[in-house]
Structure 1
Amino acid sequence: MSEFAAMGALTTPSGRALADNLLAFVRLLRRAGLRVGTADVLAAAEAISLVDIGDRRLVHAALRAVMVRRHEDFDVFDQAFLLFWRDPEAGRNAAAMALLEGFRERQKAPPSSRRVAEAMTPPRPSQHPPQPPEEKPPLEVALTVSEQERLQSMDFEAMSATEINEAKREIRKLVLPLDARPTRRFRPDPLGPVVDLRATIRASLHEGGEILTLERRRKVTRPPPLVALCDISGSMARYAQILLHFLHAVTNDRDRVHSFLFGTRLTNVTRQLRSKDAEVAFELVSHIVPDWSGGTRIGESLELFNRQWARRVLGQGAVVLLITDGLDREGAKGLAEATDRLRRSCRRLIWLNPLLRYEGFQPRSQGIRAMLPHVDEFRPVHNLQSLRALVESLSGPQPGRRMAA
């Protein structure tokens, strides 16, 4: 007799054990990141009552049909179902499974397995025994700074793993409403400023040729496209890992966002970052980017972008975010020309450089001196405050463009 049949036989009189197991399974799915509400739990209980409890495949299909709404959650649900309903001791063995992940760098498990393993791992007990309550001494808080404020100003490169996770959660909350710009298209609007002669004549045909009202229209406004070119070389690796979370959040918050990564070559990762699940998105990016933490060829990468992608993604007044420290292994070869062409192809070119975190920064490298005259803005990007300042700048009125020298 299978485990499901045994459980059905034992719970036929009251059904309490099956209900408890179903609730425990729901809690596991929630810890793994799935959105399962009370209505889904009720639907799952009803679905189980309509199928043969001894057939594992039917139960799996019934629960999956009512509890999973997003395609990227299917793998997580399958892993959780397999672990939870197959082995009652899986919760105790999940910690060992999670430890094995660190020894298999070349054969990494899919993100869904890691998420389910972490969800099933019991919380670690406190190493310190509970102490009896004591009277707390008065604290001097006049000159203290909260952890939240400290996190906002801390450099990404100096953060611990816990602080990086907190920073990623803050980044996902950032909203980037770019200033809407008028396009060439029109839409009907009774209060529009422009008279639509064609629509007026078509409407008059219903009245025997008499023009009784004037049809009006106005231009359609849309935020301009946003294009990000992010350096993933060795000197930018730590910042690029965190800034990818920013690009992922922006990509899933608005349309017409295009992301490119470059080190020694240029890679388009727009499609991969559109996945709602951040872990799945970054796993897909890791499969197609071969030059992470390698050398830097900024000039060649920008030239390739100008030649193959500029006409496709830089239309309708696009805003370009160039994220790099400007340290090119080829010096300044072709860098000034490529940056100038990129600037002339977009409405606004913003260079984000983590080296600006230093107060005494001086553009001494050849690459920085070659690029600097051809950008509209030169901004730091090394902590949460700099990202918030960038969002405010993109959301506000656009400054006038400097004329090229």
Structure 2
Amino acid sequence: MPADLGEAMALATAGEGAGGGALASNILAFGRLLRRTGVPVGPAETMAAMQALAFVEIGDRRQVHAALRGVMVHRRDQFEIFDQAFLLFWRDPEAGRNAAAMAMLDGFKEREKAPPASRRLAEALNQPKHPPTPPQPPEEKPPIEVALTVSDRERLQAMDFEAMSAAEIAAAKQEIRKLVLPLDAKPTRRFRHDPSGPATDLRATLRESLRTGGEVLSLERRRRVERPPPLVALCDISGSMSRYAQVLLHFLHAVTNDRDRVSSFLFGTRLTNVTRQLKSRDAEVAFEMVSHVVPDWSGGTRIGESLELFNKEWARRVLGQGAVVLLITDGLDREGAKGLAEATERLRHSCRRLVWLNPLLRWEGFQPRSQGIRAMLPHVDEFRPVHNLQSLRALVATLSGPQPARRLVA
């Protein structure tokens, strides 16, 4: 059943007790507006909204606002966009043009930038309504020519991020949000009770024997707890990596919100921890917060200094319990190879697995001619490309499997 048809049936049933008529139509339109802004509102929420209005005073704006927000919004980070949508819609259902005009005026201001919720609300209110097309007389179907063609989705998988248009970048970001990164679980120092466990739990056995006067009637068993290791991402946002960093930031946001113990750092000329910013569920809000704390986007590159700073200030905090490190950079350092080999070697010894993701590997004839690449390459466990969706899927498949034997570095 289509969502609109289900909502109409629900409102027709619930509207009898709350006035029905225009109020039911307005609730239905308000639910569509919230859905266009990204708030998950379906038939259940619209029906609950009509039922909630039967218990409040319709003439009291505060009671109506509290009732609708209590049944139509399920996450705290969506309160802001709901409040703005309620203010605009219930004041004037045709306020979309005014909101769009204000958004256009804000676009000309260099210093004041509208928040993501306001932009999304203006786009949703200003969305043109397409009239239903009249029925067309049946026509003869043209013959279908069967040919070997490549679908847009398959072409998107192999396309380089740097060669994508704005629409293709948006489609790639949607595909990246669906990626899941289940790291291979590793044993920890903790144990849990398991009747079929391989080890005997002497402490639990003695504790259980106290119930029978100190006589041991059965042996308690235990098993070692397995848990995926922490994941740490160090992403280069310099000028040569800005195009890839914008797309890979969506990958880091999806991974951060899919699993726990994920730490993300961005570096260009300095190192910035953006773990807290990327934990926001709303991607636009998260990237807006990142833009406020990262001052060196698309600038120079100091990989050696950034890695050295990470080793001194953050390694002991986030690299415990056999962490996996993703180093995302092209290896082009403005300082050459100064201190780069030592910092990379120390980073490798501090983690269980160091994976270097380099977009320059998209070229078949790639050769490590840069001083920075030659200094870092001997001290990483894996050297992989990261330039399209296929490379990201291959990375997910590799990290989800068992780790290969670690090679020794002379």
Answer whether TM exceeds 0.5 for this pair: yes
> Any idea what the Cα deviations from partners look like across 1:116-151, whole Å, max 9, x if unmatched?
11111223769xxx9998767656553321100000
1:48 aligns with 2:53: yes
Equivalent in the alignment of 1:267 = 272
Q: Residues of 1 paired with 2:129 and 2:339: CA distance?
A: 55
Equivalent in the alignment of 1:173 = 178
Unaligned 5+ runs, structure 1: 1-10
1:145 aligns with 2:150: yes
CA displacement at 1:396 relative to structure 2: 1.3
Equivalent in the alignment of 1:157 = 162
1:200 aligns with 2:205: yes
Equivalent in the alignment of 2:324 = 319
SS of the residue corresponding to residue 144 of structure 1 reads coil
1:390 aligns with 2:403: no
Query: What percentage of residue pairs aligned between the two structures are identical?
Result: 80
1:352 and 1:380 in contact (8 A); partners too: yes
Residues 224 and 102 of structure 1, relative CA distance in 2, 3 Å threshold: same
From 235, 242, 246, give the equivalent of 2:247: 242
Q: Residues of 2 paired with 1:345 and 1:310: CA distance?
A: 7
TM superposition score normalised by structure 1: 0.92
Q: Residues of 2 paired with 1:13 and 1:364: CA distance?
A: 73
2:18 and 2:54 in contact (8 A); partners too: no
Aligned positions of 1:6-405 closer than 5 A: 15-123=20-128, 141-405=146-410
Residues 141 and 336 of structure 1, relative CA distance in 2, 3 Å threshold: farther
CA displacement at 1:105 relative to structure 2: 4.0
How many residues of Structure 1 are paired with residues of Structure 2 in the alignment? 393
> Any idea what the Cα deviations from partners look like across 1:207-263, whole Å, max 9, x if unmatched?
001000101101000001110000011111111111010001001111111100001
Q: Which amino acid aligns with 1:103?
A: F
> Any idea what the Cα deviations from partners look like across 1:48-74, whole Å, max 9, x if unmatched?
222222222221122112211111101
RMSD of equivalent CA atoms: 2.2
Residues 141 and 366 of structure 1, relative CA distance in 2, 3 Å threshold: farther
Which 4+ runs in 1 deviate beyond 4 A?
A: 11-14, 130-141
Equivalent in the alignment of 2:7 = none
Residues 229 and 106 of structure 1, relative CA distance in 2, 3 Å threshold: same
Deviates more, 1:344-353 or 1:51-60: 51-60
1:92 and 1:122 in contact (8 A); partners too: no
Q: Which amino acid aligns with 1:293?
A: S
Q: Residues of 2 paired with 1:213 and 1:12: CA distance?
A: 64
Q: Residues of 2 paired with 1:13 and 1:35: CA distance?
A: 23
TM superposition score normalised by structure 2: 0.91
1:175 and 1:253 in contact (8 A); partners too: yes
Equivalent in the alignment of 1:4 = none
Unaligned 5+ runs, structure 2: 1-15
Q: Residues of 2 paired with 1:135 and 1:363: CA distance?
A: 60
